[in-house]
Amino acid sequence: MIVTFSVANFLSFNEEETFSMVASKRLSDHPDHLVSIPGSEEMALRGSILYGANGAGKSNFFKALAYLQKIACDQRKKGAGTGRSAFRFRADPEAPSLFDLQFIAGNTLYRYGLTLDDDRILEEWLLEVDGNREKTIYERKTDATDTVTVNPKGLKGAGEKVQALATVGGPKGQSFLATIRATLNPSEVQGRLREAMDWFGSGMRCIRPDSRFVTLGHALSIDQNFRSFAGDFLRAASTGVDKLDVAHKEISEDQLKSMLPNFLFEKVVEDTKEDNWAFLEIGSNREIVIEKTGCHRYHLLSVKSIHQHETSQEIFFDFAEESDGTQRLLHLLPALHQLHTEGGVFVIDEIERSMHPLLVRKFLQFFFQRCGGNRRQLIVTSHESKLLDQKLLRRDEIWFAEKNQRGATTLYSLADFRPRKDLKLDKHYLQGRFGAIPFLSETEAIMKKAEGSYEQSSA
């Protein structure tokens, strides 16, 4: 679970801004939305929604989290730098960017962060937090000569190869976490370090507005529980879909060649990762599954939606023929299913994209009512004001993004305003009481100017 996230000098963030999932002690509503924070008397929130006008920085908040995850996990090409996007209105454009994340993995609260510029990671740290105390797992620094040093103070239980790697340091533009992932097998990393690495690798999922669940067909094919859950949810959402099925066909290498460009086919065949399977999405409704054996086998999967005809006859459609909203919902349902059956953190940008407001509300209601238990968290960005309802969300679960006069994003919580429990939040939000809405007053002048131009051209 995410507890706090701070970012500075990245995209539209200038000075350090902090997004907090620590519950306010002043509020007593929705106690089932709370999870205890290890080593603390504080509680963490299970869900949150971030509002703001177009261009205010909601998606940049999402991108900042996704960027930090990428830096923590992915190997960087030599000479590629850090790939950061600094705030462009600063007087000192070379100033470092900051990322600082507190998260819960297992039963431990961790703090991971770094400062970096365009060329190198200047500082990096991983700490174990227990109340007001912080225990260093490792600290890394890059000096002016690009020499990387890692203080392995807390790495004694992480494994001998990890300690040896700490003496090397790694590339200047790559995090030490990513260097470990690229150099060592998972079995060679142990203890707290392994737990934190695993969380970055699979404990948090960032879903863009155009994201598709690439292995959807495979997941529906092998997991009967997920297929039933997805079909039931689509039916309950009045999409017209009653059930889902997956058409499965083994194809030859020559058939696969005819479906893919040569360069992509060669990449697929030469892929020698340790996984037993590889997946490739082609089009909007079909997947190629490669079973990695001594002699590769190729399978073509197509998701089918089943509609019930009035005569009780089942009518099959390619799922690509369904509406954009129905397709979007299905690609989000793995998040709900995983949060219902397992755990983790899902961060969804523009959750309402292509979906009806009532459907988005049901999505959030399902999460809060059916995805209880520890370590399950959903954070979304949205424009949909109808979700501003204290029957659905706590006041400290509602956040806003707004740009100041310098064009920089600021973040603040609805709890800062202390609204009454019976206040119509959506109405007052649209009236501008909480900020974070577009200013449209100048559009009237633009319309009058346009009307004048039209009258002159007509004359």
Tens-digit pLDDT profile for residues 76-92: 998 899 999 999 999 89
Residue 337 counted as domain residue: no
Residue 338 counted as domain residue: no
Same domain assignment for residues 25 and 154: yes
pLDDT in tens, the chain (459 residues): 999 999 999 999 999 999 999 999 999 999 999 999 999 999 999 999 999 999 999 999 999 999 999 999 999 998 899 999 999 999 898 999 999 999 999 999 999 999 999 999 999 999 999 999 999 999 999 999 999 999 988 999 999 999 999 999 999 999 999 999 999 999 999 999 999 999 999 999 999 999 888 789 989 999 999 999 999 999 999 999 999 999 999 988 888 888 888 877 777 666 545 556 777 777 767 788 877 766 778 889 999 999 988 888 999 999 999 999 999 999 999 999 999 998 899 999 999 999 999 999 999 999 999 998 778 999 999 999 999 999 999 999 999 999 999 999 999 999 999 877 778 888 888 888 887 776 545 556 666 666 666 556 655
Range of the domain at 290: 216-328
Residue 335 counted as domain residue: no
Instruction: At 86, give phi and psi (nearest 5°).
Output: -75, 160
What are the structure tokens assigned to 102, written together?
């507190």
Instruction: Note the pLDDT of residue 272.
Output: 46
Instruction: Note the pLDDT of residue 459.
Output: 57
Cβ-based burial of 132 (10 A; exposed 0-12, middle 13-18, buried ≥19): exposed
Same domain assignment for residues 158 and 42: yes
Same domain assignment for residues 130 and 181: yes
Domain count, the chain: 2
Same domain assignment for residues 224 and 276: yes
Rounded CA separation 405/340 (Å): 42
Give the 3-state secondary structure of residue 42.
coil
Same domain assignment for residues 359 and 224: no
Same domain assignment for residues 10 and 83: yes
Q: Where are the alpha helices (DSSP H) in 74-130?
A: none
Helix or strand (DSSP H, E) at 129: strand 121-130
- The answer to whether the CB of 363 falls within 8 A of the CB of 332 is yes
Same domain assignment for residues 283 and 374: no
Rounded CA separation 131/338 (Å): 30
**CA torsion 322→343→209→45, rounded to 10°?**
130
Residue 242 counted as domain residue: yes
Instruction: Note the pLDDT of residue 429.
Output: 82
Residue 193 counted as domain residue: yes
Spatial neighbors of 64 by CB under 8 A, at least 6 apart, are 5, 7, 10, 11, 13, 99
Same domain assignment for residues 95 and 224: no
What are the structure tokens assigned to 24, written together?
């306010």
Same domain assignment for residues 163 and 14: yes
Give the 3-state secondary structure of residue 115.
strand
Residue 383 counted as domain residue: yes
Residue 407 counted as domain residue: yes
Same domain assignment for residues 315 and 373: no
Rounded CA separation 105/37 (Å): 11
Same domain assignment for residues 121 and 201: yes
Same domain assignment for residues 236 and 321: yes
Instruction: Note the pLDDT of residue 296.
Output: 78
Domain boundary among 296, 328, 360: 328
Query: Within its chain, how far is the Cα of 366 from the centroid?
Result: 19
Rounded CA separation 153/163 (Å): 10
CATH code: domain of residue 394: 3.40.50
Residue 57 counted as domain residue: yes
